[in-house]
Structure formats: structure tokens, C-alpha cells
Chain A
Amino acid sequence: MSAIYILWLRQLKRYVRSRARVVASLGQPLLYLLALGYGLSPVFQKAGQGNYIQFLAPGVIGMTVMFTSVFSGIELIWDRQFGFLKETLVAPVPRTVIMIGRTLGGATTAILQGLVVIAICLLIGFRPTSAGTLLLALVYMVLIALLFTAFGTAVASLLSDFQGFQLVMNFLVIPMYFLSSAIFPLAGVPPALKALAIIDPLTYGIDGLRGTMTGVHFFHPATDLAVLSAFAAALLLMGSYLFSRIQL
């Protein structure tokens, strides 16, 4: 237990201390909200889809949690390169415990980052149906955070350098974001695109967030929760397995 706590605390301290990174990582969601949000708003409205900021905000919140989580997981590469990973891997603590501590730490930072973006969304005019929905949204944020931190850890366990990392970002992470219905509604898109969205775990996270906060669901909330939980569990298992096999 104390091992999990100290690993969690370490991730949190690193997050709080890297203020530059915190501020930098708010840039992207802000850009999406302001440029896309205000830029596409008139078109969206004319197409009869309502207020675009209302539609986009949950997507940007989900994106923030997802990206921060993936990065936290992938921090493992840094730990490997800077040598600190050795210190944790020779310690008399089962690798699964190390993986859990790191994942909880990474997920916590991602949720904090998500909360900051929620505040920004509220500031620029996003209005959830009620304040209580924010609590339910937190459940989805936790699931997204766990899922993608585990994903990042799994990927980082397989990679030993940053070239591979760019590949993963461009061919997995960014596509998952764009295909997730974060920026466009799934109703009426071509079947191929829809098929891709359906196999993308983030789709269910964004749909869940949007559903709880604005009342507009594409899937049933139970489906969102079930699929997200299943993906999260599978990736946690896979991450633990791959992490336990790391050799230095």
C-alpha cells in the first residue's frame, strides 16, 4: 500500500512542479475551443445542430484527459532513459504494484488537468444541464484516465526510444481523438467512419461525457460505461503484463 502511495505521490509532485508543462498542455484544448468552437459555430448552427460550443466542450474535456493520460503513461520512456526506472525495478515490490502506483498517479494528474479544462469551458460559455452532472462526468473522466494511462504504459513498455513514440502519437493517439466524435456528431457520417468510431474506445468516453453533461447521447449510457470499463480493464491487464516483462 505504501509503495502505491509513494509512486502516486511522485507522479503528482512531478506534475505540480512542471508548471511549464501544465500551462503548455492547456494550449491545445484552448485552441480547439476558441478556433474550432467559435469558427465552426455558425455553420453548425445553420445545419440545425444547435450550439457548437455545447457539443464541442465535452469532446475537448475528454481529449485533455486522454492526452494527459497517454503522456503520463509514456513518461515511462523518460524514466527508462534517465535511469530512474532501474531504481523502481530492482526494488522488492511486485511489478504489478509499481504499475498500479504509476497508473493511479498518471490518472490523477490527467483528471486534474481535465478539471482545469472544465473550468475553462464554463468560462467561455459552456453550460451543462445541471451542476450535479459534473459529478457523473467525473466517473467518465476517471475511466478515460485509467484506460489511457494504462495504454501509455503498455506502449512505453514496448518502446525504448522517442522515434517509436512519435509513431504511436501520429498513428494511434491522434486518430483515436479525431475519430471519437469529439469534434463532429456521429449521426449521419459515412458508414466506414462510423465503423472506425465504434472500435475507438475514446468514442464511448466522449459520448458518456457529452451525454451526462448535455443530455445528448449517441449510445446508451450503460453501453458507454460497460465498453469503457471493459477497455480499461483489458488495457490495465495488458499494461501490467508488458510492464512486468521489461528488461533493461
Chain B
Amino acid sequence: MIRNRALDADGAGAWDGGRLAMIRVCNLVKEFGKIVAVRDISFEVAEGEIFAFLGPNGAGKTTTIKMLTTLLAPTRGTLELDGLDVSHHKNEVRKRFGIVFQDPSLDNELTAYENMDFHGVLYKVPRHVRRERIEKLLRLFELWERRADLVKTFSGGMRRRLEIARGLLHTPRILFLDEPTLGLDPQTRNQLWNHVRMLNEQEKVTVFLTTHYMDEAERVAQRIAIIDHGKIVAQGSPEQLRQQTQTQSLEAAFLALTGTTIRDEEPGAADEMRNVARMFRR
């Protein structure tokens, strides 16, 4: 069992090697009108852990991440990050995490460098550190040559790389990665996971990720939770999940737990609006 940081705050000397809960979710429910997106889920992620949250489309992964990152208020239940109640200490919570979103979140009218710099200023990365890290990350994701170009001239893959580079600019205590490798080539995926593992080992960053690629989850994550129809159907290490389902791979375990029917996702309101916006713009 993972212990609670708040309970340990005054007994720090009595550290017994048990890991603290960096993320604690308790009986979380999110309803949008009649639709229940998340139905009473509970889980914990230990400090320094790499935790994968897997599930078919529309299972409630992104909704959960939105609630954990202060973008959405839960209908019921409690969320804690680093011992802080997310609903009541939004700003303190925001100082502790970084996130790479599933959907685009760049300013297309700014250059790659300006997007990075904007992020660095908001996260109070000191100027000289900022410059150094921006260069390092843009080089790592092979965007340095295009740093002065407007993001609207970038291809989908380049934009995705920039999103990731930006998400790694400050070193948070918790890093949320919502399907970070969607649309990336194997080279970039490799770079990303190497970098994430490095952050996890050297900087003790706790990582919470979602992905549709089971091989990635199997390789990177220490613990996995599988969510389906808004409920957690299984939790444990990749081995445990394989044993539990008596399968040979995580992919087979995933299918055994969630079935083989293809899920429909609500057509994203954002997609529709983007089309309308295209008509209105200039």
C-alpha cells in the first residue's frame, strides 16, 4: 500500500522506504449531463513510478487527465497530487506537473522558439537555463533548424515533436503524457521514451501516461491500469496483468479485458469547430 504524503509530513524521520503516493484518486466520478464518462474509479501512483493508463477510445482516459490537471472539475470524488487536493489548491498543484496533451495546444502564429519561450516564462524557468534547455530539446527533437519558423508552416509530425519538447522544458515532479506518441515515427518515439526514462531515473519524475501502443506501455511502465467504459477493470504490473488473464502479451491481456469490439468516440466538438473556424479566419 502506498502511504499518503500528508500523513507523513510530520513523521518524515520515520521514513521506512515505503513510497509516497504522488497521485491519489478516490471514488472519482465525472458526468456530462446523462453521459457518465468516469464511473467511480480509484487508484494511486507512487512517487517516482512510471504508470500507464490504458483503455479503448472513449474509455475516460483523457477526462481523468483533465481532472487531474485542473482543467475539469470532478462531479464527485477526490483527487490528490503530491498530497494536495486538486480542487482546492489548483495553483500549487499546477506548479508540480507538466503535460503533453493529446490534442494540439501550440500557438500556430508564433515560431517554434517563441512557443518554447512562452512556456518557459510561464513556468518561471530562469532565462539562461531556458535558453540552454530550449536549444537542447529543439536539437533533440530535430527542430532547431526550424526554430524561427511559424508553427503554422510545420507538418503534423513536427508539431507533435514541438509539443513534446515543450512539455519537457521545465522539470516537473509529475509528467502527464496523453498519447504522446500518436503520429510519431519510430525514431522520435525512441527519443521520447529514452528521455522520459532518463527524467524518471535521474530527476525522479513521476510519469503518468496513456497510449494505444501496448508494446510501449509494456516496455516503459512499471504499473498499468486498464480502464473501460469509465471503470478500472484491472491494475498491476505488466506481468501481473498477463498472469491474471493467462495471456502471453500485454496486447492479448488488454483484449481479454476490454473485448474486441471497436469503440465509437463522440465526434469531437473541437474537430467540428476547427472546420467552422477555417471558414471564418481571414
Task: Give 23 A-B contacts (CB < 8 Å), ordered by A residue.
Answer: A3-B121, A3-B122, A10-B107, A14-B110, A81-B277, A82-B108, A82-B274, A83-B103, A83-B104, A83-B106, A84-B107, A87-B101, A87-B107, A90-B94, A92-B94, A92-B123, A93-B122, A161-B273, A161-B276, A162-B273, A162-B277, A247-B72, A247-B73
Whether B101 and A86, one on each chain, are in contact in the complex, defined by CB atoms closer than 8 angstroms, is: yes
Decide yes or no whether B263 CB sits under 8 A from chain A: no
Check: B270 CB closer than 8 A to any chain A CB.
yes
Residues in A with CB closer than 8 Å to B94 are 90-93
Given A3-B121, A13-B110, CB of A21 within 8 Å of CB of B282? yes
What chain B residues lie within 8 Å of A82 (beta carbons)? Answer: 104, 107-108, 274, 277
Q: Any chain B CB within 8 A of the CB of A54?
A: no
Residues of A within 8 A of B97 (CB): 90
- Say which residue of A20, A78, A88 sits within 8 Å of B122 (CB atoms): A88
Binary CB contact string for chain B from 64 to 91 against chain A (1 if under 8 A, 0 otherwise): 0010011111000000000000000001
A82 and B273 CA atoms in complex are apart in Å by: 9
A13 close to B114 (CB less than 8 A): yes
Q: Which of A71-103 contact B (CB under 8 A)?
A: 78, 81-84, 86-94
**Given A6-B122, A83-B103, A94-B91, A162 contacting B280 (CB threshold 8 A):** yes
Chain A interface helix/strand/loop/mixed = helix
Instruction: Known A3-B122, A6-B118, A82-B274; judge A90-B69 contact (CB<8 A).
Output: yes
- Decide: A83 near B273, CB < 8 A? Known: A3-B121, A21-B282: no
Q: Are B66 and A248 in contact (CB under 8 A)?
A: yes
Interface flag for A170 (CB, 8 Å): no
Within 8 A of A (CB), among B260-282: 269-270, 273-274, 276-277, 280, 282
* Most central of A3, A5, A90 by chain B CB within 10 Å: A90
Across-interface contacts of A88 in B (CB, < 8 A):
122
B109 within 8 A of A: yes
Residues of B within 8 A of A87 (CB): 101, 105-107, 119
Kindly list chain A residues whose C-beta atoms are within 8 Å of the C-beta of B276: 161-162
Cα separation A91 to B69 with both chains bound (whole Å):
10
Chain A residue with minimal CB distance to B280? A162
Residues of B within 8 A of A3 (CB): 121-122
Whether the pair B106, A86 counts as a contact (CB closer than 8 A) is no
Query: Which residues of chain B are within 8 angstroms of A13 by Cβ–Cβ distance?
Result: 109-110, 114
Complex contact A247–B282 (CB within 8 A): no
Count class of interface residues, chain B:
35 or more
Asked if A86 and B118 sit within 8 Å, CB to CB, the answer is no
Taking the complex as formed, is B136 at the interface, i.e. its CB lies under 8 A from any CB of chain A? no
The 8 A-B residue pairs whose C-beta atoms are closest, nearest first, are A91-B122, A92-B95, A83-B105, A92-B94, A6-B121, A81-B273, A83-B104, A248-B71
Question: B152-194 toward A: CB 8 Å interface, digit per residue (1/0)?
Answer: 0000000000000000000000000000000000000000000
Chain A CB within 8 A of B99 CB: yes
Known: A3-B122, A10-B107, A90-B70. 16 other contacts (CB 8 A): A2-B124, A6-B117, A10-B118, A13-B110, A14-B107, A14-B109, A17-B150, A24-B282, A81-B273, A81-B274, A82-B108, A90-B97, A93-B122, A160-B273, A162-B276, A247-B72
Chain A residues positioned under 8 Å from B269 (CB to CB): 160-161
- CB neighbours of B123 from chain A (8 A): 91-92
CB distance from B165 to the nearest CB of A (A): 13
List the B side residues contacting A81 at CB < 8 Å: 270, 273-274, 277
Q: What is the CB-to-nearest-CB distance from B135 to chain A, in angstroms, rounded to a whole number?
A: 19
Quick check: is A18 within 8 A (CB to CB) of the other chain? yes
Partner of B109, one of A2, A5, A18: A18
**What's the nearest-Cβ distance from chain B to residue A19, in Å?**
10
Given contacts A2-B121, A162-B273, whether A89 and B109 have CB atoms under 8 Å apart is no
Taking a contact as CB atoms under 8 Å apart, the answer to whether A89 and B119 are in contact is no
Q: Are A247 and B277 in contact, with the CB atoms below 8 A? A: no
Alpha-carbon gap, A177 to B99, bound state (A): 43
